[in-house]
């Protein structure tokens, strides 16, 4: 069971994650190369376009994994 300290820490980490996600959504289109990396799939045919940013997803996954591991290391878990 979480005590007040643990709950407070959890709320702070959750708030930081929400702020980071909000900033990515607000300014994501202005970050250079985000979504335009080599390996991202873009198919345009007959007025229909399909876009799958697989390399961008992989890069974001690695970055988020590193950030989460750093946070967990500092919190002692």
Mean pLDDT (the chain, rounded): 83
User: Among residues 40, 65, 69, 42, which one has the least CA distance to residue 53?
Assistant: 40
Instruction: Give all strands (DSSP E) within the chain, no chain letters.
Output: 41-45, 48-52
The span from the CA of 5 to the CA of 23, in Å, is: 27
User: Among residues 26, 1, 27, 2, which one has the least CA distance to residue 13?
Assistant: 2
User: Among residues 63, 57, 19, which one has the least CA distance to residue 40?
Assistant: 57
Which residues does the chain have with pLDDT short of 70? 1-2, 34, 77
Rounded to two decimals, the pTM is 0.56
pLDDT in tens, 29-44: 777 776 778 888 989 9
């Amino acid at each position: 069971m979480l005590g007040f300290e643990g709950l407070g820490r959890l709320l702070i980490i959750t708030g930081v994650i929400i702020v980071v996600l909000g900033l990515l959504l607000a300014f994501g289109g202005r970050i250079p190369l985000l979504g335009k990396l080599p390996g991202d799939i873009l198919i345009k045919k007959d007025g229909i376009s399909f876009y799958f940013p697989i390399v961008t997803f992989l890069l974001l996954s690695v970055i988020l994994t590193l950030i989460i591991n750093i946070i967990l290391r500092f919190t002692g878990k």
